[in-house]
Amino acid sequence: MLSIEQLVTLFERFRKENSFQGKVAELYQPASYLMELGGKRLRPVFTLAAHQLFEDQIDRSLAAALAIEVFHNFSLMHDDIMDQSPLRRGQPTVHIRYDTNAAILSGDWMFAHTYELLSRYEPILAYDLIRLMNQTAVQVCEGQQLDINFEKMDQVTEMNYLEMIRNKTAVLLAAATRMGARIAGASREDQDNLYTMGLHTGLAFQLIDDYLDVYGVVTGKTTAGDIKQNKKTILYIKTLERADDADRTQLLELYQQDSPDKISRVVNLFDKYEAGDYLRRLTIEYSRQANNALQRVSVDPNRKSNFTSLLNELLNRNK
Amino acid sequence: MLSIEQLVTLFERFRKENSFQGKVAELYQPASYLMELGGKRLRPVFTLAAHQLFEDQIDRSLAAALAIEVFHNFSLMHDDIMDQSPLRRGQPTVHIRYDTNAAILSGDWMFAHTYELLSRYEPILAYDLIRLMNQTAVQVCEGQQLDINFEKMDQVTEMNYLEMIRNKTAVLLAAATRMGARIAGASREDQDNLYTMGLHTGLAFQLIDDYLDVYGVVTGKTTAGDIKQNKKTILYIKTLERADDADRTQLLELYQQDSPDKISRVVNLFDKYEAGDYLRRLTIEYSRQANNALQRVSVDPNRKSNFTSLLNELLNRNK
């Protein structure tokens, strides 16, 4: 069995062997640029590790793993335009480095290329993977739309927020995981279990991101970027829900403006109403569900060690 | 056999029965808005008419016809952003009516929905249709990129231009036509013939558009919009190729500026070098090839009457 590190290496080799090429270079350069910026390759690793639960011949999952990573980067490329983000992984985003048209069109091409990669499989298998991709792509669009909607909404509930991150983030990790299992020939029940594991891991992962954005040790990320951008995360939602009238008014006002002490005042309110603790408990609950789903997968527990350590690492990180 | 008009009616009924719906209305409204603006429904009609060459039970092609029309509208939605077009079919474009983010994201959703519609078919058939869609989508992206590139290039050859419109416009009509034949169970040879017919029809159609833009009776379209936008059409390319040094310099200069008599002076040069005649001959050649491909389709000639009159109408129009 390959280690996580070996899975990343295997994927990176395949990705480079399948670099974007064609007659119209301007279409592929922005895509290659974004893919080369790196990232954790979390989704491809989940695809390959899911396959490896069932058998060692995991090469067959590489095209699906790449498809998922290409789709992920497509969605980043378009989201960065919509969110007017100047940086991605510390480098200029595609619409800044090239221009908006390049980011739109190269993104569209990546979307098409996702389906090209999935169509490399034999018909019946390709059909299954493509249907899962369709459903996932629609959900990711819905998640991004909900995220945009929330900016203009006064009232966002915890359930709204969880639905948004489920669609925008978690379903892609879930689909990535399921694809590996499907390609390995896993039973439908095990595919379902692995989808559930990916989904809850994705939810917990995003919630940890939200937590660390405010409470984490400083990393490359802008600290408290969510507060600066008035993001209605669980921390905000829970504080608003629990706050007395005065604090509630104060928090609403803080999220309307850009005062110099905005971050510290917002964090004070989060702390006063123990929103961080609530978020941590929620995260632990999703982590537990992810682990439970992994336990239900009907393979020798020894084969699960990769995922056990992956989940442990992802869900107990502090940066 | 249904007439062209009946095919349009059948398609429109199916389209309305399959209106865009889901949990996140903001995602579907811009897509519905654009689809409702109408248009000739040329591509769906080609899908249905191609199916009808082989058998009368054409309902089975409706989902593919809609997929093609959804994809076409997706590409219009994104192209209109890139080209900064304010109007589409006489109405505000999506990025004007809503905003750029809506046009990006709703377009992405339409792309995903294209594949959802194609995935309604049974696996083997869906797989074939999806592979054709993949190839077509990549070509359409390439065509749009070439179109963007040409704006910045000094020298665009006739071959460059034809490659661009082939990708940007013709392959989608070709794919639409092939899909109808494929769903009807036509032989590979007949599918190839119909693809060729659609391709050459698409090329001729675009060249006629280019001709009428300059020489047509005034319609809803801005007359000579291509000259205003410095589009390097065949008229421009051929004139530049044939012109003496002085005229060549003059044309290049005219395409760099925005003088009040720009259009009349450019048209004078087109006329002097008989670029319009050249374009007409080229169009006639593609029309002939489209008709030849139709003739080769191995069905009773009576069944071809729809396409014969369709091609005749499309390729001899004067507006």
CA–CA dist B142, A195 (Å, integer)? 35
Mean pLDDT within B10-29: 94
Mean of the per-residue pLDDT values for chain B?
A: 94
pLDDT at B84 over 80: yes
pTM of the model: 0.96
Tell me how close the Cα of A30 comes to any Cα of chain B, in angstroms.
12
Q: Tens-of-pLDDT digits for all 319 residues of chain A?
A: 999 999 999 999 999 999 998 889 999 999 999 999 988 999 999 999 999 999 999 999 999 999 999 999 999 999 999 999 999 999 999 999 999 999 999 999 999 999 999 999 999 999 999 999 999 999 999 999 999 999 889 889 999 999 999 999 999 999 999 999 999 999 999 999 999 999 999 999 999 999 999 998 654 445 788 898 899 999 999 999 999 999 999 999 999 888 889 999 999 999 999 999 999 999 999 999 999 999 999 999 999 999 999 999 888 887 7
Could you tell me which chain B residue has the CA closest to the CA of A139? Answer: B109
How do the domains of chain B map onto residue ranges? 4-315
Q: What is the 3-state secondary structure (H, E, C) of A189-223?
A: HHHHHHHHHHHHHHHHHHHHHHHHHHHCCCCCCCC
The pLDDT of B238-266, averaged and rounded, is: 94
Determine the topology of domain A4-312 in CATH.
Answer: Farnesyl Diphosphate Synthase (1.10.600)
Quick one: how far is CA B88 from the chain centroid? 14
Q: With an 8 Å Cβ cutoff, is A252 touching chain B?
A: no
* CATH 1.10.600.10 for the B4-315 domain, yes or no: yes
DSSP class of residue B157 equals -
Please judge whether A145 and B26 are an interchain contact, meaning their C-beta atoms are less than 8 angstroms apart. Answer: yes
What integer is the mean pLDDT of B289-297? 97
Q: From chain B, pick out residues whose CB is under 8 angstroms from the CB of A94.
A: none
pLDDT of residue A317: 82
Q: For B179-228, how does the pLDDT look when each residue is reduced to its tens digit (9 = 90+)?
A: 999 999 999 999 999 999 999 999 999 999 999 999 986 544 457 888 98
Q: In the prediction, which pLDDT does A220 show? A: 44
Residues of chain A with C-beta less than 8 angstroms from the C-beta of B131: 119
| pLDDT confidence bin for B19, thresholds 50/70/90 | very high
Cβ distance of A134 and B112 shorter than 8 Å: yes
Does the beta-carbon distance from A141 to B104 stay under 8 Å?
no
Question: If you measure CA to CA, which chain B residue comes closest to A77?
Answer: B104
Span B156-168, mean pLDDT?
A: 97
Helix intervals (H) in chain A: 4-17, 25-36, 42-54, 62-82, 94-97, 100-118, 123-152, 158-165, 171-183, 188-215, 225-228, 234-242, 245-254, 262-272, 275-296, 305-315
Specify the long-range contacts of residues A216-219, CB closer than 8 Å, at least 24 apart.
A216/A318, A216/A319, A217/A318, A217/A319, A219/A319
Residue B315, number of CB atoms within 10 A of its CB: 20
Interchain CB distance below 8 Å, A108 and B26: no
pLDDT tens column, B90-130: 999 999 999 999 999 999 999 999 999 999 999 999 999 99
pLDDT value of residue B217: 67
How far away is chain A from the Cα of B139, in angstroms, using its nearest Cα? Answer: 9
Cα within 13 Å of Cα(A113), Cβ side = 29
pLDDT in tens, B140-154: 999 999 999 998 898
